[in-house]
Structure 1
Amino acid sequence: MNKERLMQVLVGPVISEKSTIAADASRQYVFKVIPDATKPEIKKAVEMMFDVSVEGVRVLNIKGKSKRFGQIKGRRNGVRKAYIRLAEGSDIDFGAGA
Structure 2
Amino acid sequence: MEIIMKPILTEKMSALTDKEHKVAFVVARDANKIEIKKAVEEMYGVKVKAVNTQRYQGTVKSRYTKAGVITGRTAAFKKAIVTLAEGDSIDFFSNI
TM-score, structure 1 normalization: 0.88
CA–CA distance in 1 between the matches of 2:85 and 2:61?
Answer: 40
Question: What amino acid is aligned across from residue 89 of structure 2 in structure 1?
Answer: D
Higher mean alpha-carbon deviation, 64-73 vs 17-26, is at 64-73
Question: What amino acid is aligned across from residue 97 of structure 1 in structure 2?
Answer: N
Q: Pairwise mapping of residues 9-20 of structure 1 onto structure 2 (< 5 A)?
A: 9-20=3-14
CA–CA distance in 1 between the matches of 2:12 and 2:31?
Answer: 23
Percent identical pairs in the alignment equals: 37
> The residue matched to 2:43 in structure 1 has which SS?
helix
Question: What amino acid is aligned across from residue 74 of structure 2 in structure 1?
Answer: R
**C-alpha RMSD of matched pairs (Å):** 1.0
The answer for the alignment partner of 1:95 in structure 2 is: 93
The answer for the alignment partner of 2:58 in structure 1 is: 64
TM-score, structure 2 normalization: 0.90
Greater C-alpha Rg = 2
Question: What amino acid is aligned across from residue 66 of structure 1 in structure 2?
Answer: V
Question: What amino acid is aligned across from residue 89 of structure 1 in structure 2?
Answer: G
Name the structure where strand makes up a greater proportion of residues: 2
Name the structure where helix makes up a greater proportion of residues: 1
Number of equivalenced pairs: 92
The answer for the alignment partner of 2:37 in structure 1 is: 43
Which residue, 25, 28, 41 being the options, matches 2:22? 28
CA–CA distance in 2 between the matches of 1:67 and 1:20?
Answer: 30
- Structure 2 alignment gaps of length 5 or more: none
Stretches of 4+ aligned residues off by more than 6 angstroms = none
CA–CA distance in 2 between the matches of 1:81 and 1:52?
Answer: 19
